[in-house]
Structure 1
């Protein structure tokens, strides 16, 4: 994420490929250690959503030759990742599979937790069945036994594995996932980089990968899926890169972190214990209570407390700490159930390169007549078209001033009326994120501006 759990600098890649202890092909060279060692142990959809989606599988049961293996073992996944943010859950990753477009597109979701905290969200892999009968896999997730079983139930070979970003929460699974399907071609977003050392992809267990190019008509899936690359100048210690895809037959837009839709209720894959832990009045809540009395009463497991935990999670993910965690409902209502650009991505990335972002989204809206959007985090699929997509980026007009007054009048209309609301975030909630941005700029980790920013 956002992005879900990270922005410009936090999303930097690094020594970052996982090591699956249950994968006999894994090795320490295939895995990576991203900076300081941190152990990565462990392991509904309510919105303007596509009516075609249906829950197909919530969990894969142990059957046949797997009789001795428990459901928990099927979800076991262990990897080493690290600096600056280890990503959980640490030993147990449940996989949820849904059918987004009948017989054509499936979504696979797992939980993604931030380090040792109770803050978590979902991470999504999208699988498209091509006319060849093979599968095109977008942003692979942890290849647990359960995940691979659910994928193989589609009864089609995996032909292509696609990494659409540089961000490490997606990159870490590409190597282990590709080893489960050695005949599949691996394609990656351009300008991959890692920090603190810029290492080649082979150090992350990714071998023989082809590079995705902007509007490339020579890819083996070009007749069915088109692509457009956002490749910005360095906004900090490295560039921000994301590739958007358009599945023509289903009129579906696939993005990674460009936009999100926060559902009112938590995704099914989110651990109940994490929700209840977030509902507790811990240190963060006391700090952000605006001086109000904070009780230390035990948290009862009920729907009210799970919802409170979800609301607090979302606000911490998107704002890194809103103005008031004690009473999160007002801020959550401002963020949820609409297509938006995550505040952390907007602040740390997109506001630094508004011209590049504007060119990318204008080309997407001009060339692709999509009717649904599937991001890699939070809700999906989202029933939304070009108007809603442009509206989410309404903040770019303020940054670019009068430079884009010649844009199509229809686009201007939507960004004027819808975009202001979609891109407005309460100033009090933005204080922590704005302070972080100022600090990162002051130490040179993030640039104040790269191009076109209104001063």
Structure 2
């Protein structure tokens, strides 16, 4: 079900298993002043979830924000065939079946600029993530750039979280750090992100941070800074 985060900002969570691990992923929804909805990192759309979205407005944009979060993008487009589907650079090669897919540019699209700003995180060719800043709610919308596993997870999931360094606070996972090929480029992108007046961080896995969010985020992104 949709959870209200802030005015015109919602999320919904999908729990699933991958290689025997219980995990979750979050879809974030932004409503524009004209009622258009922006779906970030879509999850499976149940009838209840579709009904909730339809009550909020009309789905105009569907966003697959990196090379990992795209599995349900086609399903979302099938549910909302009049929407535009946007995806990470290079995703079109990975998902040639998504024939309607448009590639996200490095700068925010003009039709989104009244509500969102964005930064493409350089230096991660296996991730190619874009993050967004929802200006009215002062919220950073990220996917895999940072994580924080909280809550009651099975021991296998907790062990995975500890191995990835994301159980004790907001952090860049060891896996994302490992696949970062150009840390100075990533650090420069993170400096751009930290210029935003961030008061909340919403990410796919699995927490929402709204206490000292920018301080915690800066500490996490320092992983990319030179030693």
Normalising to structure 2: TM-score of the pair?
A: 0.90
Q: 1:20 corresponds to which residue?
A: none
Counterpart pick for 1:388 among 209, 216, 224? 216
1:369–1:385 contact (8 Å) kept in structure 2? no
With CA pairs under 8 Å and 6+ residues apart, which has the higher RCO, 1 or 2?
1
> Of 183, 186, 189, which residue of structure 1 is paired with 2:82?
183
SS of match in other structure, 2:90:
coil
Aligned equivalent of 2:4: 99
1:313 aligns with 2:205: no
> CA–CA distance in 1 between the matches of 2:6 and 2:168?
21
1:151 is aligned to 2:53: yes
Q: Distance in 2 between matches of 1:164 and 1:220?
A: 17
Counterpart in the other structure of 2:189: 360
Shift of 1:226: 0.9
RMSD: 2.2
Q: In the alignment, what sits opposite 1:251? A: 138
In the alignment, the residues of structure 2 paired with residue 383 and residue 181 of structure 1 have an alpha-carbon distance, to the nearest angstrom, of 35
For residue 171 of structure 1, give the secondary structure of its aligned residue in structure 2.
coil
Larger proportion of strand: 2
**Cα distance, 1:233 vs structure 2:** 6.0
Match of 1:164 among 57, 65, 87: 65
List runs of 5+ in structure 2 lacking aligned partners. none
Paired with 1:97 and 1:138, the residues of 2 have a C-alpha distance of: 13
Contact 2:123 2:183 in 1 (8 A): no
- Contact 1:255–1:376 under 8 Å retained in 2: yes
- State the secondary structure of the residue aligned to 1:222: coil
In structure 2, relative to structure 1, the CA distance for the partners of 1:382 and 1:345 (3 Å cut) is farther
Distance in 2, matches of 1:319 and 1:364, equals: 26
- Sort the Cα spacing of 1:105 and 1:187 in 2 relative to 1 into closer, same or farther, 3 A: same
Q: Based on CA coordinates, which of the two structures has the bigger radius of gyration?
A: 1
Q: State how many pairs are aligned.
A: 227
Q: Measure the CA separation in 1 of the matches of 2:41 and 2:171.
A: 21
Q: Does 1:212 align with 2:41?
A: no
| Maintained 8 Å contact 1:373/1:384 | no
Whether contact under 8 Å (1:319, 1:344) holds in the other structure is no
C-alpha distance in 1 between matches for 2:81 and 2:192: 35
Cα displacement string for residues 125-183 of structure 1 (whole angstroms, at most 9, x for unaligned residues): 000111111111111011222322232232x111111111011xx21100111110111
Is residue 113 from structure 1 mapped to residue 4 from structure 2 by the alignment?
no
Give the whole-Å Cα distance in 2 for the aligned partners of 1:395 and 1:221. Answer: 30
Q: Secondary structure at the match of 1:110?
A: strand
Give the structure-1-normalised TM-score. Answer: 0.47
Q: Helix, strand or coil for the counterpart of 1:340?
A: coil
Alignment partners' CA distance in 2, 1:138 and 1:122: 15
What residue ranges of structure 1 are gaps of 5+ in the alignment?
1-95, 267-274, 276-308, 321-333, 402-455
